[in-house]
Structure 1
Amino acid sequence: QILVDPRHRYTRALISAVPRLGSMADKDGPEKFPLVIYNAEVSQPEVSA
């Protein structure tokens, strides 16, 4: 029942994060995530391309 009808928003988010079979069929490869560098002096993460 958890997988069929998840009620908690955290459970729904976890299930939606799972890649679907065939979802990358039209892609050349996996997408790359941006590198996130944490700067303690600024206390904000910096995203580099």
Structure 2
Amino acid sequence: MDFGCDPGEWTDAWSATGISHHWALGTGHRLADLRAVADLLGVEVTDVRP
């Protein structure tokens, strides 16, 4: 992945935007569970596929 800069600098800049500092990553077979939990918590799930 090309961040266009040092990944650490990118992470610092991204975090400074105020977006949640918690990241979650899961494999596809857990997507339904993650969506259910996100719905209960009122948070967004982003499905990223190649």
**TM tier, shorter chain?**
under 0.3
- Higher share of residues assigned strand: 1
In our comparison, the structure showing a higher alpha carbon Rg is 1
